[in-house]
A and B are shown apart, each in its own frame.
Chain A
Amino acid sequence: MKVSSRALPWLLLAPALAATVLLVLAPVAQTLWLSLHDVILFRPKSQPFVGFGNYVAVLNDPMFWESLGHSVVWVVVSVALQFGLGLATALLLNRRFAWRGVARALVIVPWALPSVIIGLVWTWMLDFNLGLLNQIGVRMGLLDAPVAWLARPDTAMAAVILAVVWQGFPFFAVTLLAGLQAIPREHYEAASIDGASTFASFVHVTLPGLAPVIATALLLRMIWVSNSLDLILVMTGGGPGTTTHTLPLYAFLKAWSGANYGYGSALAVVLTLLLLVVVIAYARRGMRDAPA
């Protein structure tokens, strides 16, 4: 068999491309198409074209704006906390001490767990009667009485954010640690010869050296957290009431439970566009700030 070298790369790429077109791009195109129609599950024959009607409805839907607000809180607060805790962990793990290897290996555990298990672990930890957190809190006098963390409108969001921070901070810890190890020792030595304090060498050597890794890790994690709905679905199902409805969860519930595919599709498209805008803005900023 003789294949010309011009065709060979395309031949090699063909299976991956075909799978992507069939199982990703075609569904995306169909979602765009569905979002322009009224699609009700139990009424498959009649799917009237409604133009941008679903999108107008989205913008006039108070639940959309509420979910968007929850999404912003969910992403900004949880990613900031994951990043902060992950950075602190990475800096500590980069120091020299006896059980460093064990600590580096074990800190990753929460990130390896399935979201469903993470939801299970924290539902158990936060249980009203039997949860470990209520018990410790009451015993140490931090709580007057057990709190139904997942059932109270004022604590449910904080509870799911706690779970996603637990899941995500090891990701930052290990990626930032790898970034720290890639910073040449000479840079620190040069800084200390110049009489830089620990803090000054952190600001002038560590942070700039770590910047590209920080940028990529933040972007990746932000995309994941924005799109993820399984953890919330498992822990609260969006409740109590609508207090933990984020945008992807609302789209999912609307399309699935409500069986309104057209409207759910429009919500999913709006979510993707919003995310795309944020990512592009972020990437452009990153390129401008990056040292040439």
Chain B
Amino acid sequence: MKRLRLFLGTEVPLLGILAFALGPWVWMMLSSIRPDEELTHSPVSLIPGALTLVHHIELLQRTSFASNLLDSLVVAVGAVTLGLLLSLPAAYAFSRFRFPGRRLLRVQFLVVNMFPVVLLVLPLFFLLRRLGLLDTYVALIAGHATFTLPFAIWLMTSYIDGIPPDLDEAAMIDGATGVQVLRLVILPLVVPGMVAVGIYLFIASWNEYLFALMLAGRNVRTVTVALQMFIGENEIHWGLLTAGGTLVALPAVVLFLFAQKHLVGGLTGGAVKG
């Protein structure tokens, strides 16, 4: 009786919710490995007759998609590197030092989070054009690293807060300078935090669309922009599109599942502390 109540009251509704959460994504992946005859035949049968990789192969061989994947990878790795270089020292300062303006600065970094991208992207376009950086890796890396900075600093600060200050003090007593403490004591201990922040930065950059569209798009074309352009074409080729969607979604989903606990912990940790 108790088993039945658990089944009807908890497991059945959750199965429904999971079907809603995963169904459309699974349907996209399934569509990408079905031949055109099945995809263009209305109504599309729910159970696939034949499976094929033709769309994936055509996408990678006949279109620019492989180089778009490379562009996305370069930008994301760059954004991770720059984002960590910017957020780690800032988080260390917020965690270990009490200085005038600290509270204000922390709030400022969060307020910056609130500005809509539309507000920033036009002047950034002008600025980068004047510097001759429009449509380059540098433009997108700088843009992505900056708009992810508030959450990166937030997450990193909570990691450094978790390292006992006694360790710093012990090193200081042994004669280490502030910079040495950061390099020799904090850095090795904060590696898990750097992995979590790095994964967040990677996913945010990999998934980003508007900056990638406005500040680049011709020489440097990331996968999100490339896919959107496929959708815009007159005749929608669902085989290619779903294949592209499957390939683009995979790294984000895998990394997210891997780092889920840390990212969610960072969000709610902030929420609980206020």
Binding site for B on A (CB under 8 A): 1-3, 5-6, 8-10, 12-13, 15-17, 19-20, 23-28, 30-31, 34, 85, 88-89, 92-93, 95, 97, 103, 105-117, 119-125, 127, 129-130, 132, 135, 138-139, 166, 169-170, 174-175, 178-179, 182, 212-213, 215-217, 220, 223, 226-227, 229-230, 234, 248, 251-252, 255-256, 261, 264-265, 268-269, 271-272, 275-276, 279
Contact = CB atoms under 8 A, between A and B. Distances in A.
Contacts, number: 279
A1 B14 CA distance: 59
A255 B116 contact: no
B63 to A, nearest CB: 15
B243 to A, nearest CB: 11
Contacts of B206: 114
Contact of A97 (B11, B87, B126, B153): B11
B145 to A, nearest CB: 7
A2 B22 CA distance: 56
Contact of B89 (A3, A13, A107): A13
A97 B153 CA distance: 37
A97 B13 CA distance: 13
B217 interface: no
B122 A227 contact: no
12 contacts: A20-B108, A27-B119, A95-B10, A110-B25, A116-B209, A117-B28, A120-B241, A120-B245, A125-B24, A130-B40, A130-B43, A170-B21
A116 B200 CA distance: 18
Contacts of B123: 26-28, 30-31, 34
B6 interface: yes
A103 B18 CA distance: 7
Contacts of A121: 24-25, 27-28, 245
Nearest to B209: A230
Interface of B: 6, 10-11, 13-14, 17-18, 20-22, 24-25, 27-28, 31, 39-40, 42-44, 46, 85-87, 89-90, 92-94, 96-97, 99, 102, 105, 108-109, 112-124, 126-127, 142-143, 145-147, 149, 153, 177-179, 182, 203, 206-210, 214, 224, 227-228, 231, 238, 241-242, 245, 248-249, 252-253, 255-257, 260, 264-265, 267-268, 270-272, 274
B272 A28 contact: no
A248 B122 CA distance: 13
A166 B21 contact: yes
A117 to B, nearest CB: 5
